[in-house]
Structure 1
Amino acid sequence: MLKWLTSAIIVAIVATGCNTVARNETSPSPQSNGRVEAQQTDPRKKEIKNSEQVAVHLEQLAKGINGVRNAHCVVLGNTAIVGIDVDARMERSRVGTIKYSVAEAFRKDPYGIDALVTADMDLQQRLNEIGADIRRGRPLAGFAEELADIMGRIVPQLPRDVLPQEPGRQELQR
């Protein structure tokens, strides 16, 4: 019995060893590093030289999607942020579909390939105001004001941080 068990173990080890060798022979050798280079087929992002022209172009592209009532675009450096205006009573899933359709249209456009698309009503309006400030010649101030307003809405208000008002002092609450 012991001879039979020893023979079976030896056969199993030899069979396993042969299997491993065969597998190693079929795998590519690290020394034969044959480089394969693939060409990119996705549209490449173009460098934005005229941000106002690109903003108008992306707004028109977004407005061409069914369900988009209006669009506002702000270009920051080489990135565009596009806010789309949809019917406020529209279901969330439908809004998501429209936003996806806009992103799909942008994917085929070299200026829109890396654009950010939002359907948030507040952000869309703020993008409109930033765009108006840029056209008025105050891009940094307008952006800083809107960013401060956005942050003011995002940062939570903790009741522990609220100080009681002095009796003689009346202030408007935002």
Structure 2
Amino acid sequence: MMVAEQTELFEKSNDRELIKDVKHFFNRYFMRLVLKSGRSLASLQSPKYDGMPKAPGVSEDRDGKLVEAADCQEVVECALEAFQNMTSVSTLIVWRSLVKHDLDVQIAHDVGYRHSQYSDRKKAAMIEFNYAFAGRLQKRGLQNKHFDFDDYLYQPKSDF
């Protein structure tokens, strides 16, 4: 009798690219987008999304920064909603490894996986995040094939 493998939703040849995109998003963009969105760092303690609107922070150039913050907040909310659409184990693995930067050894211990099991599960979790996040972005009309958010973080310098 054959042991049933986890259902493969993704093509193996594309997995590396998807994982690379997720790592790139968290390493390069996520925290900066959170900060520019006006969200509190304390709100990052849990990936739970409550759907309640948050009051914007007070700023000297409030009108000029509201649009920029709203754009960043859209992306951040998509990421948080993506966590809500994932399995709890995947959410825990991606959140703790890529947002909180906890050690993989500790995360594997906490979820009860051996090293090799955890490595495979972490890859699957990142792929799951990739698809959940892409779906949330697409639902809001934010197409982004490789999770490149430089446009939200860098404003072109004016010629004035």
TM-score with structure 2 setting the length: 0.26
Q: Kindly indicate which of the two structures has a greater share of residues assigned to helix.
A: 2
Q: Kindly indicate which of the two structures has a greater share of residues assigned to strand.
A: 1
